[in-house]
Chains A and B, each alone.
Chain A
Amino acid sequence: MSEQDIALLDDYFNGLLNTDAARAVEARAASETAFGEEFALRREMQAFPRRAAERAALRGTLSTVSQDFFQEKDLRQSPMTARVSRMRWLAAAASLALVAVAVWLFTNTGGPTYRQFAQHDAPSFTVRGVADEAASDAEKAFAEKNYAAALTAIDRLLAVQADDPTALLYKGICLIELDRTAEARALLAPMADGNTALRAEARWYVALSYLKEKNPPACRAELLKVTAGESRYMPAQELIKSLRAGD
């Protein structure tokens, strides 16, 4: 890097060049590798002290949040795995009951119905501060099968905690119960395709939304995406069998 180029970059980053000269520097940075690398380094240096403050702020947040995690007890079981394990246990128990119900129904009726398989776990929302009341209202309304009221309360909860996966899942369930199946899928499908702990739950309910629409092929296609080891694998297999028996 020549002295002249260093002086040119000094002037550029001190804002001393006119518009044409500044554009010429940017064009050179885009077309000449060595000059471009020096330009990029200078830009990084210019932003570094400001970014250092942002970096320190994030590090502070991570330090605070991490105090609630990485505990010895988490090695035994985390709150999330506890919830998922509970769902898995309930799902397994439900699947056993469903085998009997399904066998009886398919020998006596024409095929599985949404209501036979839609057995929802009671929600337990993780909330902070102002969302407490909304969470409590949602849990109560859901337990009473008042899905319209539950949906309203969950929307209040989501207004405070927009990305809460449990709230999103139960909003999807409420929408299915209210026959707003397309809306439910729009909400649940990204979760089902994502990498969250509730992925299998979301997939299961996407499948049930199709079952409610009496669309067995779409329902089956979703169920086949639930893989062994996931929380809804057993019920999914039972429902697939039931769909086959109903064909």
Chain B
Amino acid sequence: MHTDHRYIEALRRNDERSIREIYREYSTQALRWVVARGGTPDDARDFFQEALMAVFEKAQQPDFVLTCPLGALLHVIYSRKWIDSLRQKGRDTEVRNVEERRYNLEVSDDVLTVAEDALAEQSRQDRLARAFAQLSDLCRQLLTLLSNGAAPKEAAATLQMNSVDTLYRRKNACTERWRAVFLEL
């Protein structure tokens, strides 16, 4: 376990004081990196925040343990996000320049693996969120109630359903719809 694993716990706990420490330690590096490539401080803020969110998604795996420095991990993630944003804007020459330099960076395989996992998990969660947003109000309300631990009887009463059986049938249909939209995205 790397000593920076404490920051993973901080993200899991949403511990503002420790999160502030993460910003104190690593935000300037991100700011300089993004600004040096033509971005703005606001761009740097957004990419850094999204990098932290990606690490958070990875940290949702209960058995995840950080084995590399957080600074290196964040750097790989926000630089990938920066490259993706350039690609989306069609700035291919800049993409090539940044990527060439990227391959010259000394980053361990461990950092790259964790970064890729984190980005993949974030993308998966984003797809789930987009699919969830396409469900009806009733479906979203029902699934949220049950996810937050409401008893089925209580949820049925809240949603003015006649019985728990009706609630389950509706839940199954909502889940199937959600799954289908998710797999199409």
Interface residues, chain A, CB within 8 Å of chain B? 6, 10, 13-14, 16, 41-42, 44-55, 57-59, 61-66, 68-72, 74-75, 78-81, 126, 128, 161, 163-165, 190-191, 193-197
Contact = CB atoms under 8 A, between A and B. Distances in A.
The 7 closest A-B pairs by CB, nearest first: A49-B147, A195-B69, A49-B144, A194-B3, A70-B45, A69-B27, A78-B28
B65 interface: no
B16 interface: yes
Given A41-B179, A54-B14, A80 B25 contact: yes
Contacts of B152: 14
A195 B4 contact: yes
Contacts of A78: 24, 27-28
A55 B53 contact: yes
B172 interface: yes
A39 B151 CA distance: 22
Question: Chain B at the A interface: mostly helix, strand, loop or mixed?
Answer: helix
A50 B147 CA distance: 6
Contacts of B2: 194-195
Contacts, number: 131
A190 B172 contact: no
Contacts of A195: 2-4, 69-72
Contacts of B149: 50
Contact of A163 (B18, B27, B49): B18
Contacts of B71: 195
Given A14-B168, A74-B31, A190-B3, A80 B175 contact: no
A62 B25 contact: no
A45 B175 contact: yes
Interface string B4-32: 10100001001011111101110110011
Counting contact residues on chain B (CB < 8 A from A), the size range is: 35 or more
Nearest to B9: A163
Contacts of A53: 148
B82 interface: no
Nearest to A6: B176
Contact of A57 (B14, B25, B178): B14
Contacts of B35: 75
Contact of A48 (B41, B44, B132): B132
Interface in B132-151: 132, 140, 143-144, 146-149
Contacts of B48: 66, 70
B6 A45 contact: no
Contacts of B41: 70-72, 74-75
Contact of B49 (A45, A66, A196): A66
A228 B44 CA distance: 29
A197 B25 contact: yes
Contacts of A161: 17
Contact of B128 (A45, A191, A194, A197): A45
A25 to B, nearest CB: 16
9 contacts: A14-B172, A41-B182, A52-B129, A55-B56, A58-B14, A62-B52, A69-B23, A70-B44, A74-B31
A171 to B, nearest CB: 16
A222 B19 CA distance: 30
B110 interface: no
A64 B17 CA distance: 12
Contacts of A128: 17
Given A52-B129, A61-B16, A62-B53, 19 more contacts: A14-B171, A45-B175, A47-B147, A48-B143, A49-B144, A55-B125, A58-B14, A61-B19, A64-B16, A69-B28, A70-B45, A78-B28, A80-B25, A163-B21, A195-B2, A195-B4, A195-B69, A195-B72, A197-B25
Contacts of A14: 152, 168, 171-172
B92 interface: no
Contacts of B4: 194-195
B60 A10 contact: no
Contacts of B171: 10, 14
Nearest to A194: B3
